[in-house]
Amino acid sequence: MTVDEFRTLALSLPLSIEKPHFERASFRVDAPRGKTIATLLDSNATANVFLSPEEQDILIGADPSVFSKVPNKWGDKGATTLQLANCDETTALSALKMSWRHAAPPKHHSLLE
């Protein structure tokens, strides 16, 4: 998967917008109390999504060539890196949807299929 393909997927989620976040692009839920869905670092073709620690463990266990824990305190809370070169669209979209559910206010959850 390319950086541009990931960007397109992230922006396809309901209420998703792109904003700068330091050296990364961030994708956020554009709603009151909406949070970050993912960040994207073009220079090394990685993205971070924000999952529960349990979801993180499941994804890393299922495919450690794609998923890894962010090596800091955010990783302990579920922040998970995707190696885009090893990731297909279905896998990336699944991870993005998991992250979106954590980022979106509950009243918007019905917007996601």
Supply the pTM of this predicted model: 0.95
pLDDT-derived band at 1, boundaries 50, 70, 90: very high
For residue 33, the model assigns a pLDDT of 86
Q: For 42-107, list the strands marked E by DSSP.
A: 46-50, 67-69, 79-83
For residue 7, the model assigns a pLDDT of 98
The residue written with tokens 């909406």 in the block is: 34
Q: Has residue 110 got a pLDDT over 80?
A: yes
3-111 sits in which CATH class?
alpha beta
Under 8 Å between Cβ of 52 and 78: yes
Q: With 0-12 CB in 10 A as exposed, 13-18 as middle and 19+ as buried, what is 60? A: middle
pLDDT tens-digit readout, 76-97: 999 999 999 999 999 999 999 9
The arithmetic mean of pLDDT across residues 94-108, rounded, is: 97
Radius of gyration of the chain (CA): 13
pLDDT tens-digit readout, 10-59: 999 999 999 999 999 999 999 998 899 999 999 999 999 999 999 999 99
For residue 46, the model assigns a pLDDT of 98
What's the token pair of residue 108? Answer: 């918007």
